Structure 1
């Protein structure tokens, strides 16, 4: 059998590893920040009806411009957006990949502030874009001064601000986005995959007018409990949308994806009804872990980055053996835990407590 090392890979892919969050059929899966609540029955029935209508026409290609979906997304985001300011793809990862295909590439660079979403450097490698990581300050929160200084120093072609940040949960303040945009001449992406879980901050979508280099990426995978559908989207200047048309594959969004996502947006209030409960479980989980002596970083997302584990890998494996899957990201002393349903959160709290101080078995 041929080994990967024997294949003529591009130089910048040699030694890389694919994205690889563990996939186990465990009773309590809290490792990839999904909304673990089921879709309401009435909403599911309407989505199924839309899929049935769509499947009767799949002998034809879907609407290449997916206009109905873009109109629905514009209506959902508000702020006076029009359909020509919206784009969508198979998950926000594909949206980000298309941005890098259009504005990155050989001789160009992508900058972000680490620790952050692990797909950013992988997407950079896949598009032959240089990767410039800048370590976040102590506590992970970004300030206007820190971000502006980094962008002026490195002058990347593209920068990504993730807010709330994955994996730390750190919220992103509006003034940081403004300072970042004004500090350099490249494309600025604000990745708002977890925005719906942040009850305190307005979306960066409100900053789009007059800022043609600002792009706001969102997803239906998290708050919408639609991870299996794979629908990510982007709000930006119409010229940016035109640029993404240059690199997208023809008919990249299937008729079934378009139908399911459009129907889900029609029921956005019902789809997002669990968000408040998830916030409550996140805060309950934080209080419980702090009571057990762990350090819980502030989070505006549906997950927590928690420090104080003596051996994070051992704790991860001990919980996995009990049918509980969380995320070990290799951050010293830390694990990431998603807030699930009340029952799932209770199970997680009790399991960590039973392991004893620092995650070691008592």
Structure 2
């Protein structure tokens, strides 16, 4: 007898949902999920392999449950007088965010964000039994202090997720908005800085706001700037008491010894790894300039991708690019598509393919 999902005693609030996932296809140029498409430099890869080989000798034993050396490495990388006690990590930033929602959200509580934003936020809220509440942005996806505060006071959420720069729009979020939201909120405020390394080098980070704000957390990922998407390592900085709350919900030994070793080695080589960022930013800006020349409407981006409007038929454009071997993302915003900034060759392939379809009408 064949059994379907509908035949199982699934939670009522999960019925009818679909799992998260972007299209995956074996195309020559995949620019749809904001990966760092540059391979890990050979010197760094060799260093990482050496550390993994050492970790394998003790892989029959459980790893350091507190991943102390890794937390020290993250604190050193972030600076701002942070220490290991301020740091938490998980298998990708999504797991880190899930830990926060498990600790501070849950049934009967609300999670709030300004839409459009990262599509995993409502799914993480749903998965922990919380209710997702979507606020609104300006048509240009910006937020002002007054509007942000008014919406926070109206909805009075238990957890607020601020994506800075925002995904899928690339929009920066000024620190004064974050400060105002924190002061207006009674609950937890998370600033998701997954793309912070791609922002202008002189742009401030929400890490500067942590002192004296125990309900604030700033999350990061190694997937983007560090080209570590396949390694699955995310982390956050917060008050030590906040970190203690996350210990209550994490699974035992949740970060493997091999993951810890790989991440520590990558952080030790941070200058080499981050050298890729400048090239990616150059390609991002090249994409924006060329899109504009083709008649599209690229939105300002502080990330490693560009959201562009002026697409008369996103589905048809997406398909035409697909047929030319280029995969980008339809994020569901009318008349818009999103493309990741890849290598110079990948960027050229995308721009040539788009130009062959014809300029925006």
Q: Above 0.5 in TM-score?
A: yes
TM-score by length of 2: 0.98
- How far did residue 38 of structure 1 move? 1.2
Three-state SS of the structure 2 residue aligned to 1:233 is strand
2:273 equivalent to 1:271: yes
Corresponding residue of 2:21: 20
2:77 equivalent to 1:76: yes
- Aligned residues of 1:168 and 1:304 also touching (Cα < 8 A): yes
Distance 2:186 2:45 in 1: 44
Corresponding residue of 2:62: 61
Corresponding residue of 1:162: 163
Extract unaligned runs of 5+ from structure 1: none
Aligned pairs for 1:213-232 within 5 A: 213-232=215-234
Residue deviations 1:64-107 (CA, integer Å, cap 9, x gap)? 00000000000000000010000000000000001000000111
Aligned pairs for 1:239-258 within 5 A: 239-258=241-260
- Aligned residues of 1:196 and 1:275 also touching (Cα < 8 A): yes
Corresponding residue of 1:338: 340
Residue deviations 1:188-229 (CA, integer Å, cap 9, x gap)? 000000000001421101110000000001000001101000
RMSD in angstroms over aligned alpha carbons? Answer: 0.8
Residue deviations 1:218-248 (CA, integer Å, cap 9, x gap)? 0000011010000000100000100000000
Tell me whether 12-21 or 227-236 shows the greater mean CA deviation: 12-21
Residue deviations 1:103-140 (CA, integer Å, cap 9, x gap)? 00111000001110000000011000110001211100
- How far did residue 6 of structure 1 move? 2.0
Corresponding residue of 2:286: 284
User: Number of residues paired by the alignment?
Assistant: 359
2:139 equivalent to 1:138: yes
- How far did residue 357 of structure 1 move? 2.8
Three-state SS of the structure 1 residue aligned to 2:66 is coil
TM-score by length of 1: 0.98
- How far did residue 13 of structure 1 move? 0.7
Selected match of 1:311 from 303, 310, 313 = 313
- How far did residue 358 of structure 1 move? 3.0
- Aligned residues of 1:173 and 1:201 also touching (Cα < 8 A): no
Distance 2:219 2:12 in 1: 29
Extract unaligned runs of 5+ from structure 2: none
Aligned pairs for 1:27-42 within 5 A: 27-42=28-43
Distance 1:243 1:330 in 2: 35
- Aligned residues of 1:311 and 1:358 also touching (Cα < 8 A): no
